[in-house]
Amino acid sequence: MANNFEAAAFALQCAFPKNKILMDDKGMPSVFVWIPAFRLCDVLSTASTDIHPAFRVNGKEIAGFYFGKYQTKVYNERAYSLPAEDPTVSQNFDWFASKTKANGTGWHEATVAEWAAVALWCHKRGCEPRGNNNYGKDANESTYDAIPAPGVQDSGKTARVLTGTGPLPWSHNGQMDGIWDMSGNVWEWLLGLRLYKGELHIIADNNAADNSVSTAASSAAWKAIRASDGALITPDGNGTTSGSIKLNVVSGKAVWDTTITDQKDEGRGCSFTDITAGSAVGDAAKLVLMALALMPDAALTGTGIDTTYGGDYFWFNNGAEERLPLRGGYWYDGGNAGLFNLNLNNPRSNSNWNIGGRSALHHVTLCAATPRWIWGL
């Protein structure tokens, strides 16, 4: 068995050097894509040379992280990244987090910071992956290109498809060694961010990738963001922290601001490109928001860059006590699905046949004094 695995791993590495088969502490494999560290100025219209928050864990810069090549499939109470599987669904936020954590040290449900890092890299390079957002195909395609999950239909049409079985445009970089199904198929729970009565809370940097950091509703790791300078501050527990970033709604569109004038405990939405920040939100705080793909970088233009962000959508509830993030969309979302599709309308207790997850693994080796900023994902 070991020799067979080593041969398979060697073949994968030869064919796709940026992919890696990693074993959990029970010796079971998953396929990952290595995401090397980069700076904010590499993906956003900023001069900041700060490292993207996905590459800092507990105050230490990391060389990169491993991101699940495929959506999660759970076997024997553990989460795996495997091809040609019907992704596991119909479980809540804490359940998915526990199944990835069970795999061993460093394994975790993917975080908002990690997803954003991949999304921003794609956007900067004009890669807006397609996927199963129209009953087994992409809304821009005319044929069914992926393998339907057996026995899973929505009103007589294809619903979920097997992981990684779509055409090349369904991978994040348009190549076989890419990350699959980040646009549609099923929503994916992510760690490290929430709305609390409309107030934005995050767990610092990519600390949510550390399994010793609690993501429970009562965790002290949750911090509000000071609008004036982007610093993290302790929230007041009521969603009314003075000077913090909150989600307001103005003329039906989402506005990150310090006050909420239109607050409702109901699901609402707008296009991702319609998200803005109020005048009280300073440039440093806006950079935090853009780095986490919570608002568009309107100043980022250039050859191949899609300034419409693929037509992706933002769903939200700014009146409920706690709402946790889903990203990517699902088989019904059409053009609204995609890398920047964000859903902040679900409590952690929610489960649905269109909600799944994705595993990740943070790399424990620190960056050298001068990291290599590698772009060949």
pLDDT tens per residue, range 72-111: 999 999 999 999 999 999 999 999 999 999 999 999 999 9
- Domain assignment of residue 158, yes or no: yes
The answer, yes or no, to whether residue 198 has pLDDT greater than 80, is yes
Q: List C-alpha distances in Å: 213 to 96, 195, 203, 206.
A: 16, 18, 9, 10
| Confidence bin at 144 (pLDDT 50/70/90) | confident
- What phi and psi values does residue 122 have, to the nearest 5 degrees? -60, -45
pLDDT (tens digit per residue) in 225-269 = 999 999 999 999 999 999 999 999 999 999 999 999 999 999 999
Amino acid at site 325: P
Q: In which domain, by residue range, is 145 found?
A: 20-377
Nearest to 190 by CA among 214, 215, 219, 217: 215
pLDDT at 7: 56
- Domain assignment of residue 9, yes or no: no
User: End-to-end alpha-carbon separation of the chain, Å?
Assistant: 30
Alpha helices in the chain (DSSP H): 2-15, 93-101, 112-124, 283-291
- For the entire predicted model, the pTM comes to 0.93
- What is the mean predicted confidence (pLDDT) over 309-325? 97
pLDDT (tens digit per residue) in 9-44 = 555 666 677 799 999 989 999 999 999 999 999 999
- Domain assignment of residue 271, yes or no: yes
Q: Give the span between the Cα atoms of 299 and 283, in whole angstroms.
A: 13
Q: Give the span between the Cα atoms of 348 and 27, in whole angstroms.
A: 30
- Domain assignment of residue 115, yes or no: yes
Could you tell me what percent of the chain has a pLDDT over 70?
92
| Confidence bin at 363 (pLDDT 50/70/90) | low
- 175: three-class secondary structure by DSSP: coil
pLDDT at 373: 30
Report the domain count for the chain. Answer: 1
- Domain assignment of residue 10, yes or no: no
Token code pair at residue 93: 């936020």
Q: Tell me 101's DSSP state.
A: H
- Domain assignment of residue 239, yes or no: yes
